[in-house]
Amino acid sequence: MNQASTGPGPHDADRDAQIIADAQQGAFDPTYGSTGTEFAANGPGGRSLGLNPGEQSVKHTQSTQQSSGSATQPLGETSVRSASSQSLGVVSDADAKTTTFSLEADAQTGLEQSRQTKLGSGTLNLEAGVAAGQRMRYTLTLPGTDQSLDAATQVNPLQPESLPVGARAVLDSQAFAQREVKADLQQVAMQSKITEASGRSYLIERVDERHVRVATGPNDAIEAANAIGLKAGPAQALVGRTDRLGSSRVQSAQFDLTDPRAVDAMTAFARTGEVAPGTPGVDQIQTLERIGFSSQQRMQLQLGPLDADLGGTRNEGSQIRISEPGQDGYAVVQQLKYGDNVPLTVLRHYDGNNVERVQERSYRFEIDGDVAAPGLMQRLGGRNEASEEKAMAQSLNSAISGDMAGTGEIQAGQKTTLVFNEQQMQALLQQTQTAATANKIGASPLALLVGNGQASDTEQFAIAMARNVGGQPAAFAERLQRIADGADGQFDGRLQRIDADVAPRPAAAIAAVPDPRDPAHPDHGLLQQCTAAVGRLEGAHGPTPGMDSERLALGSLVAAREHGLQRVDHVLLGNDPARGFVVQGALDSPAHLRGSFDAKAAQEAPVEASLQRLQALGPAPERDAAALEQATQQESVRQSQAR
């Protein structure tokens, strides 16, 4: 059996991972509302205090109402209502090693009309209202867990220098209009609320000490909540669904904070959302257009002054189109998640004529092998977290390797992404069709995946894998193993391997190469010396057309390491600007050391290329502090004698 993978090469995989990461980080979801469970206690004077345990947030609401007329009169009761709310939350993520602070506020004024009338043996109560207002939210994510509120207050999203490296801030505000209808007859109650909003979003992320990424643009949202249930006196229980639809279109670019031209362009960009390609110090310009939809089951409970809004199963999906100026074509990232099932990401590439390059399509299933710790009753029932994680890893390894022993690169408890290209997904579809036929049970789970024998294309099949019942991580892994078992037409324990590529999550793949711009990197100090030397070079001769100071500094660092320099005092360009030199010591000292490098190639190559060259050199040698101090003193003495 051929064990070779037909998946994408490393270059294509890295490119696709970067596109997906850009889509996840740069696109914007404009819909509001919690997806978790909220509790509230209503007090006197129109005050309410709420708690959301999942989002670790508290919410305060204040409302006032002035009424005239009576609900029993022909014209009913008319009320003018004003309300405002503020919520504050803090979430520490141990996996991502971040702390996220969130602030949300809204204010609205509306008109309500209520009417009460006899209907048969019961009383029909009707309420209808319209309202308009403003809402805003601010989220700040800081690197490190358990960050203090004081650290968050030091950040001003409109002042990039105040953001630490790795921090991310998102601001958005919207004007909204709302329509609401409520009715109850005897003990049956229903309600419906629709909100339409539009506004603008602003995102800023500190990429490194020199660069920030900014995204801004308009957005629109529609949110609908419908519920029906029972009402008896002060008690009420409603079940229903909340649907949210949002669209946004943002421009995104990266700005060099050390270049005044880039800083000016960033200021204008934040105001207008436009930046001209080719602006010095500005790169990675993208347009991200997102449309997203979610639907969630909700249950509302009320008993006197106490309210509970419980979140249930949630399905969500989004489609993000990414394009760049001057690029021939664009990419589309589609993401789907059904309840607790394994999420699916489909990446498509299109040419300049809007025709998909199907051979470049990829499908990604992200499987979380970290099983939630079972509760007391579940443990008493025999559940064991470690055993379940090990079984999941064994099932995945068996399916991918074709070996029932279940050993392989996937470890228990880790998050794994299985990547299929179009050819691999077609092969998996055929294996599943064969296994479904061998199963000889009508309407079996495998038969449902392939449409019970009817023709099914790869995209429909991939979506069925993510959507169908039994798509949770453990069941998903077992299903893949069963497909591998029956792929030869018999369920006999002899597996036919499933051709897929195993990858870490995109964020992990991107962070794999050590970066000397990170203060913790052993070459960070040497890079700072190179950056300062390049700055002096620019100051002495003025900016050279086409000079990229960041790439030149990184190229100088690589050259210094290659030539064994302990420090960098100067970076020079020769008579031919394509040739550069790194220098240790004074230029007029016979004892100075220097090394040459291709400055033109360093400035034309991607930053990642220099990082990979640096990594290939291995760990930085230990720099003898005493020797460096002695060399510095000798150089100072020599210069004083020369004077």
Phi first, then psi: give them for residue 504, nearest 5 degrees.
-70, 170
- pLDDT confidence of residue 192: 97
- pLDDT confidence of residue 443: 45
Nearest to 37 by CA among 313, 243, 309: 309
- pLDDT confidence of residue 263: 94
Q: What whole-number distance in Å separates Cα of residue 316 and Cα of residue 337?
A: 5
Classify burial at 423, counting beta carbons within 10 Å of its beta carbon; exposed 0-12, middle 13-18, buried 19 or more: middle
Pairing of strands 570-573, 579-584: antiparallel
Give the pLDDT confidence of 268-313 residue by residue, as tens digits.
999 999 998 889 999 999 999 999 999 999 999 999 999 999 999 9
Please state at what angle helix 607-616 crosses helix 549-562, rounded to 10 degrees.
Answer: 10
- Inform me whether the pLDDT recorded for 328 exceeds 70: yes
Residue pair 60/84 in contact by the 8 Å Cβ criterion: no
What sign has the CA pseudo-torsion 324, 330, 292, 338? Answer: negative
Residue pair 477/395 in contact by the 8 Å Cβ criterion: yes
pLDDT-wise least confident of 113-127, 305-319, 432-446: 432-446
Name the E strands within 207-343: 211-232, 235-256, 282-303, 306-323, 330-338
Chain-centre distance for alpha carbon 390: 28
Q: What whole-number distance in Å separates Cα of residue 122 and Cα of residue 142?
A: 57
Res. 543 pLDDT band, cuts 50 70 90: low
Q: Per the structure block, which two tokens stand in for 119?
A: 């209907």
Nearest to 119 by CA among 183, 68, 53: 183
Give the pLDDT confidence of 529-538 residue by residue, as tens digits.
999 999 998 8
In this structure, which amino acid lies at residue 602?
Answer: A
More confident residue, 642 or 350: 350
Give the pLDDT confidence of 134-187 residue by residue, as tens digits.
999 999 999 998 899 999 999 999 999 999 999 999 999 999 999 999 999 989
- Inform me whether the pLDDT recorded for 95 exceeds 90: no
- pLDDT confidence of residue 504: 66
Share of the chain above pLDDT 70, in %: 89
- Inform me whether the pLDDT recorded for 619 exceeds 80: no
Nearest to 221 by CA among 28, 5, 54: 28
Residue 526 CB coordination number (10 Å): 22
Give the pLDDT confidence of 195-221 residue by residue, as tens digits.
999 999 999 999 988 999 999 999 999
Q: Per the structure block, which two tokens stand in for 25?
A: 């980080």
Give the pLDDT confidence of 40-71 residue by residue, as tens digits.
999 999 999 999 998 999 999 999 999 998 88
Q: What whole-number distance in Å separates Cα of residue 481 and Cα of residue 487?
A: 10
The whole-chain average pLDDT of the chain stands at 87
- Inform me whether the pLDDT recorded for 637 exceeds 50: no
Q: Which helix (H) or strand (E) holds 95?
A: none
Nearest to 474 by CA among 403, 394, 535: 394
- pLDDT confidence of residue 132: 98
Q: What whole-number distance in Å separates Cα of residue 387 and Cα of residue 403?
A: 20
- Inform me whether the pLDDT recorded for 411 exceeds 80: yes
- pLDDT confidence of residue 608: 75
- pLDDT confidence of residue 546: 61
